[in-house]
Amino acid sequence: MGFLAPWMLLGALTAGVPIALHLIRRNKPTVVPWAAMDFLLRSVRETRSASRFRDMMLLVCRVFVLVLATLALARPLASWVPGTGPVDLALLLDVSGSMRTEEPTATGPRSRFSLARDEAERLVRALPAGSRVRLMPFGDRVEAGQTPSEPLEPALVLESLGRLRQTDLATRLEPALDMAADALAQSDMANKRLWIISDAPAAIWAASAGSLRALPNRLPGANLGWSRVGTALTAHVQLMESGPEGGLLLANTRQPWRVRLRNTGTGPARGLTVRLAMPQTGGADPAAQPADSGNIDEVSLAEIGPGQERVLHLEALLPEGRHGVMATVTWAGERWPIDGSMARVVEARSPRRVLVVERTSTVDPGQASGFFLEQALVALAGEAAPGETKRPLEVLRRSPREIGELTDIDLVFLAGISPPGLPDESARQLLDWCKAGRLLVAWGPFTGVPPVVDNPWGNLFAGVDPAQIQTPPSLPDITQARGILAPFALPPLDRLGRVILRRLHSTGAEDPAEEMLLRTTAGAPLVRRQELGRGEVIRLDLGVDAADSDLVLSPIFPPLVGALSSRAGEVALADHNLQAGAPPRSPGLELGPTRLLRTTDSAETSETRAWNKAGIWRLEENGVPVRDAVWAVRGGTGEGDDLEPAPTSVVHELAGDSLVVVDANSTEAAGILTGQGGEAAWWILLVVLMLLLSEGLVARWAGGSL
């Protein structure tokens, strides 16, 4: 027997009140001899045994009434409650990425998905004859191919469960709830059930609270429930970021690679190994790759405490071309390995070409504003390889009126130049180049740039009057560093917080489409990112001159330029780095279980939704990998942020008491869901009523009152 409101069982303590009163009344009274009482005392002695029996009967009845009333308020679940016949069941089965979490069992570790599928099979097998089931696997959506409007016989659902596969999608409950409610509302069966099997944490229930509270009105009389799968994790290490940190990735050149980890658990994780590799075969499961498959570099970490973040630095040496690179973190206590891996498609080429559009420096008229940028870029790229005469990175410094051809340019820096200040032809050329999937990094100042209606850039770079140049009230607050600059909030890169700022060149009010990567302690933006077509623009409200700050003279300047430059590779390969559930924009491609297949091929595949699985995937034609045709799929966003299933009290607070919460593999779930059991509260209240009547009869017999 389980309870829907177990905290009400504390009310059973009130059963001690009648017992205490009974014991208090047993105190010996003071004896006062009185001759007239002798005859009465003789009568009392003769009837004392019967009186004690009646008193005890009253005490037992009152104790039982209080105990059973408390039991009824706790809403017990029992399988002996009479059934209600065939049911129409909407079964929502979670197949999101978090369901890969392993749970200890008597037979060894098993995934939550495996346990959830067993729970679904157990419940479907227990359905009364004539029942129908609408199976709805969901992640951030209901899986394609499911038709909840057409319920199936339990036997067919069991076959579907056997074919069901895990995905790496994010968890979002609301779409599945709405679809299930709409389908059940059209059902003509009297008994309707909506049951969820999931490991959903509190945040998922909070996001779906509105839909959950509306269900009793949308489905009057239907039973609603959740089979909770999984237990809390003591420690959990997420791989938050993986990518080159030394600027544009150069071929055959050893370059730094950054991996950022975070422990979202409540205990420390010890004995970690971070590995960087190029898997030699495509596949949806990173764990299926051999440990030394295309190994590039690895590093060890003794411990990471709860709530801590660590940035580890590795080295990557990649040949010419486009490659899938897999970063993984492994340790003995990990229960969800998928969150400890991150696939990434990168392109290594040499030489690379960077264009710096510059003007005359305001500090030294004999020096151009792009001088410090060039020095930082050259320092990051290093010298030419032995036997080579050219550097792996070529920096072109040009004036606004002669930016030249942009076809083979990988990255453009504007050093104190804004596009509206460029000649129309150059401005349009730069705009088309950026929209095609390139990165433009613009350093201030943008002051004095008026809004221009007919300029191709619109008001993207419209600034404020020069008189409004701000003197910063304080140093940058690196705790507000985000996105590609998030590592600058951690040692040793947090030294940026000690940079002296003399002037900020504000670009006006914040745009909701912008992502603020860095702010001052007063909240003023320092670095902003905004999409432009398929490309991006990063704007820095810092001037590139020493008159604005000592940033260009600081040791932190080359890493900052490197972080901004590294983003260029991500922008250029955005179509090849995907989140689970987001297919590539390349037309005519369908992903198979171990390879990519063109939709025009006659070959059929049993796995047409493999874009839902994390890993590195390649296109093969006639069994031969196609050069540079590689895709990286990452798990759903936020799946590893909280892997603890929500407690019952939180779910009831968000969804209301109409939602029954039980643990998977419990007998109560099968009873409520299948119509062969349910709440026993009404039956217990009937017993309480009978006891009250009995107490009244006993009290009347005893000559007393209730």
Q: What is the mean pLDDT of residues 557-576?
A: 87
Q: Is 157 left (phi over 0), alpha (psi -120 to 50) or beta?
A: alpha
Please count the CA atoms within 13 angstroms of the CA of 120 that sit on its side-chain side.
32
Write out pLDDT tens, residues 349-363: 888 999 998 887 767
Closest residue by Cα to residue 357 from 304, 302, 423: 423
Please count the CA atoms within 13 angstroms of the CA of 412 that sit on its side-chain side.
34
What does the pLDDT read at residue 646?
Answer: 93
Torsion, Cα of 525, 526, 531, 537 (10° steps)? 150
pLDDT over 60 (residue 592): no
What does the pLDDT read at residue 272?
Answer: 94
Mapped onto helix, strand or coil, the DSSP state of residue 370 is coil
The enclosing H or E element of 701 equals helix 681-701
User: 617 — phi, psi (to 5°)?
Assistant: -125, 145
Of the candidate ranges 223-232, 347-356, 404-413, 519-528, the one whose mean pLDDT is the lowest:
519-528
Q: What is the mean pLDDT of residues 117-126?
A: 91
**Helices 112-125 and 154-163: crossing angle, nearest 10°?**
170
* 588 band by pLDDT with thresholds 50, 70 and 90: very low
What does the pLDDT read at residue 92?
Answer: 94
Q: What is the mean pLDDT of residues 6-29?
A: 66
Q: Where in the chain is the domain with CATH 2.60.40.10?
A: 237-349+576-634
Q: What is the dotted CATH code of the domain comprising 237-349+576-634?
A: 2.60.40.10
Find which of 74-88, 93-107, 432-446, 457-471 is predicted with most confidence, using mean pLDDT.
93-107
Q: What is the mean pLDDT of residues 22-35?
A: 64
pLDDT over 50 (residue 477): no
Percent of the chain with pLDDT strictly greater than 90: 17
CA distance 128 to 86: 5
What does the pLDDT read at residue 706?
Answer: 42
Question: Where are the strands (E) in 331-410, listed by range?
Answer: 341-348, 352-358, 393-398
Q: What is the mean pLDDT of residues 527-536?
A: 86
Mean pLDDT value across the chain = 76
> CA end-to-end span of the chain, whole Å?
32
Q: Where in the chain is the domain with CATH 3.40.50.880?
A: 352-572
What does the pLDDT read at residue 114?
Answer: 94
* 81 band by pLDDT with thresholds 50, 70 and 90: low
* 140 band by pLDDT with thresholds 50, 70 and 90: confident
- Lateral strand order in the sheet of 295-304: 295-304, 269-277, 321-330, 341-348
463 or 568: which carries more pLDDT confidence? 568
What does the pLDDT read at residue 305?
Answer: 93
What does the pLDDT read at residue 525?
Answer: 75
Of the candidate ranges 19-33, 135-149, 574-588, the one whose mean pLDDT is the lowest:
19-33
**Considering the domain 88-232+644-679, what is its CATH architecture?**
3-Layer(aba) Sandwich (3.40)
Of the candidate ranges 204-213, 491-500, 565-574, the one whose mean pLDDT is the lowest:
491-500
What does the pLDDT read at residue 403?
Answer: 84
Of the candidate ranges 25-39, 143-157, 382-396, the one whose mean pLDDT is the lowest:
25-39
Q: Where in the chain is the domain with CATH 3.40.50.410?
A: 88-232+644-679
Closest residue by Cα to residue 463 from 434, 478, 477, 443: 443
Q: What is the mean pLDDT of residues 655-673?
A: 79
Percent of the chain with pLDDT strictly greater than 70: 67
Is residue 92 packed enough to be buried (19+ CB in 10 Å), middle (13-18) or exposed (0-12)? Answer: buried
Closest residue by Cα to residue 144 from 653, 641, 612: 612
pLDDT over 90 (residue 94): yes
User: 430 — phi, psi (to 5°)?
Assistant: -70, -35
* 683 band by pLDDT with thresholds 50, 70 and 90: low
483 or 568: which carries more pLDDT confidence? 568
Write out pLDDT tens, residues 261-281: 999 888 999 999 999 988 764
624 or 577: which carries more pLDDT confidence? 577
385 or 174: which carries more pLDDT confidence? 174
Write out pLDDT tens, residues 279-301: 764 443 444 444 445 678 999 99
Residues with Cβ < 8 Å from 93, sequence gap 6 or more?
A: 116, 117, 120, 135, 136, 137, 138, 161, 164, 197, 198
What does the pLDDT read at residue 502?
Answer: 64
Reported pTM: 0.72
* 35 band by pLDDT with thresholds 50, 70 and 90: low
Write out pLDDT tens, residues 415-451: 887 766 677 788 888 888 998 889 999 887 664 444 4
182 or 493: which carries more pLDDT confidence? 182
Of the candidate ranges 84-93, 308-317, 384-393, the one whose mean pLDDT is the lowest:
384-393
CA distance 386 to 408: 25
* 690 band by pLDDT with thresholds 50, 70 and 90: confident
- For domain 352-572, the CATH class is alpha beta
Write out pLDDT tens, residues 175-199: 999 999 999 988 888 788 899 999 9
Please give the structure tokens belonging to residue 600: 């025009």
697 or 89: which carries more pLDDT confidence? 89
What does the pLDDT read at residue 287?
Answer: 42
What does the pLDDT read at residue 474?
Answer: 45
